Structure 1
Amino acid sequence: MVSMTTPSLNNSPIGVMDSGVGGISVLKHIHALLPHENLLYFADSHYAPYGSKSAEVITQRCISITDYLISQHAKTIVVACNTATAAAITTLRGRYQIPIIGMEPAVKPAAEATKNGIIGVLATVGTLKSAQFAALLENYGKDIKVITQGCEGLVECVENGALNTPQTKALITHYCAPLLAEGADTIVLGCTHYPFLRETIAEVIGNSITLIDTGAAVAMQLKRQLDTHKLHASHLHQAHITFNTNSTLPNAAEVIDTLWGACSQTPYTVVTHKPE
């Protein structure tokens, strides 16, 4: 087991990781709920998307990133990626002695929200093939119809900042068509990149269909962990946010700026790392 000690543990940062910039959608919920917390984000964009990679490769990437975040004194880790959670969360929790929060597609809330008993799930192929997702369907999908759709290419659209281009809209139209044909009235955004495409998806499917993601629920679970372990930062603490990326795209920092937007007045910096 790997543990950490630091003299100012409460004001140490919360580490958040994702296969790329998608986890910033979760980071926004975390910052809104916990505005006094330092946040340390790592976008593993050079290795995105995770959805097409083996569980072994994803787990090694998660270990490498967690080691880095802990070296920067992260007091807890949020795996803001459904695919990485499915592949690596058990290994991470067995290896490190700090709270580690994962996430999963919002099948349960979608099952509760649907009015006609038909939901769709947009996710990466890796998430849809995982044992974790199979367990979700077993637990919450028995009494409803669930249509799943792997969405190759959408992660790359977000990584490139192409949120509402004709090409992105064409992909979304293609992937949503089977869900609409089956009559889904609720669609799960089962990848943290996809909330950044929410407006474009709504343009394609209309406003009568409910879109659900788990960003707010993950932030609440993080807060509960901080409560349990008494790890909250002081309310007098001035927070800072650091975005780390190993993207080699020339517009990587610009994409982060765009996705984070005018989320708050909290200062932030973007740090670029050479890919390992």
Structure 2
Amino acid sequence: MNKNAPIGVLDSGVGGLSVLKCLHQLLPHEDFIYVGDTARTPYGTRPEQEIRGFVAEIIDWLAAQGVKEVVIACNTLTMLGVDSLKGDHKFPIVGMSKGEKLLLEASKKKKIGVFATPFTISTEAHKKAILAADPTAEVYPMPCPKYVPLIEGEQFDSPELPAAIAEYAAPLKEAGIDALILSCTHYPFIKKQIEAEFGPEVTVIDPAEATSYLAIDALKEIGALREDGAGKVTVCGTADIDRVRRLAERMLPVEDCQFKEINLADK
């Protein structure tokens, strides 16, 4: 495996930029190619087989760019099963961490909230992972269907955003949670607003860091970790690259990034 090959990062839209931010901070020597399928986002309302087809198309495109690893920076896609998305590719594919260890370390009362998309909540994957690690924990899942359209639509200053945050937070505040995980990669875009709604007694966790360490471990296993040089970041979108750049400014040093609109059919 070529140590100097880039790392691929993919998502259905811009949410995975929050994971790319963490990866870039922890792996400054690495080159990254990010693909957000902004032409077909959101994926959540589409049939599973169609979603799998889209992901396979992105992974094939990244493979053609010569990547040494792919990070699936999306909880919904991770729930489909990382191994089932790998196909015939030889490079490692890493999905999102469920963050159960971080949550249990942060929660003194063992009352834990989960913010995620309706699909991710429906799998109960996070609840099962937390209870497997500590059966005494109480888990309060909350589907948050309004967040992604507001974030993708850049509605950060709209009255709808704080109203949605208050709506989804209310039952978890009433339950007395003291730790909350943002189990959708879009949600770190509004982490500060969510933290303000819950107050200092609730620790809000972004699983991007734990995911990044999974990616690092996978590279170490195949001896492909790059340890020198200055890495480059290329951010690709399948549509609306100007909007992708604006949203990337909230996560990345965009002056160090290259932005491209791509056609996944062009290898």
Same fold (TM over 0.5): yes
What are the residue-to-residue correspondences of 1:158-197 with 2, within 5 Å? Answer: 158-197=151-190
Q: Give the counterpart letter for 1:95 in structure 2.
A: D
Tell me the CA shift for residue 234 of structure 1: 4.8
Q: Does 1:254 align with 2:246?
A: yes
Tell me the CA shift for residue 200 of structure 1: 0.9
**Taking structure 1 as the reference length, what is the TM-score of the superposition?**
0.88
Count of residues paired in the alignment:
265
Distance, in Å, in 1 between the alignment partners of 2:96 and 2:58 is 17
Distance, in Å, in 2 between the alignment partners of 1:58 and 1:132 is 19
> Which one of 9, 16, 19 corresponds to residue 16 of structure 1?
9
What corresponds to 2:260 in structure 1?
A: 271
What are the residue-to-residue correspondences of 1:1-276 with 2, within 5 Å? Answer: 9-130=2-123, 132-133=125-126, 135-140=128-133, 142-235=135-228, 237-248=229-240, 251-256=243-248, 258-262=249-253, 267-273=256-262
| 3-state SS, counterpart of residue 214 of structure 2 | helix
Q: Give the counterpart letter for 1:262 in structure 2.
A: P
Is the 1:17–1:80 Cα contact (8 Å) retained in structure 2?
yes
Distance, in Å, in 1 between the alignment partners of 2:92 and 2:261 is 26
Tell me the CA shift for residue 275 of structure 1: 7.9
* Alpha-carbon distance change, 139 to 94 in structure 1, aligned in 2, over 3 angstroms: farther
Distance, in Å, in 2 between the alignment partners of 1:27 and 1:61 is 20
Tell me the CA shift for residue 83 of structure 1: 0.7
Distance, in Å, in 1 between the alignment partners of 2:162 and 2:241 is 22
Q: Give the counterpart letter for 1:44 in structure 2.
A: D
Distance, in Å, in 2 between the alignment partners of 1:231 and 1:241 is 18
Is the 1:164–1:197 Cα contact (8 Å) retained in structure 2?
no
Q: Deviations over 1:166-190 (max 9, x none)?
A: 2111111111111111111111111
* Alpha-carbon distance change, 94 to 140 in structure 1, aligned in 2, over 3 angstroms: farther
Percent of aligned pairs with the same amino acid: 31
Distance, in Å, in 1 between the alignment partners of 2:219 and 2:250 is 26
> Any unmatched runs of 5+ in structure 2?
none
Distance, in Å, in 2 between the alignment partners of 1:113 and 1:60 is 38
Q: Deviations over 1:203-251 (max 9, x none)?
A: 222122100121111111111121111112350x332111011234863
Distance, in Å, in 2 between the alignment partners of 1:260 and 1:24 is 7
Tell me the CA shift for residue 262 of structure 1: 3.1
Distance, in Å, in 1 between the alignment partners of 2:107 and 2:127 is 20
Q: Give the counterpart letter for 2:234 in structure 1.
A: T
Is the 1:24–1:259 Cα contact (8 Å) retained in structure 2?
no
**Taking structure 2 as the reference length, what is the TM-score of the superposition?**
0.90
Tell me the CA shift for residue 90 of structure 1: 2.2
Is the 1:55–1:88 Cα contact (8 Å) retained in structure 2?
no
Is the 2:115–2:181 Cα contact (8 Å) retained in structure 1?
yes
Distance, in Å, in 2 between the alignment partners of 1:112 and 1:226 is 26
* Alpha-carbon distance change, 167 to 141 in structure 1, aligned in 2, over 3 angstroms: farther
CA RMSD of aligned residues (A): 2.2
* Alpha-carbon distance change, 57 to 137 in structure 1, aligned in 2, over 3 angstroms: farther
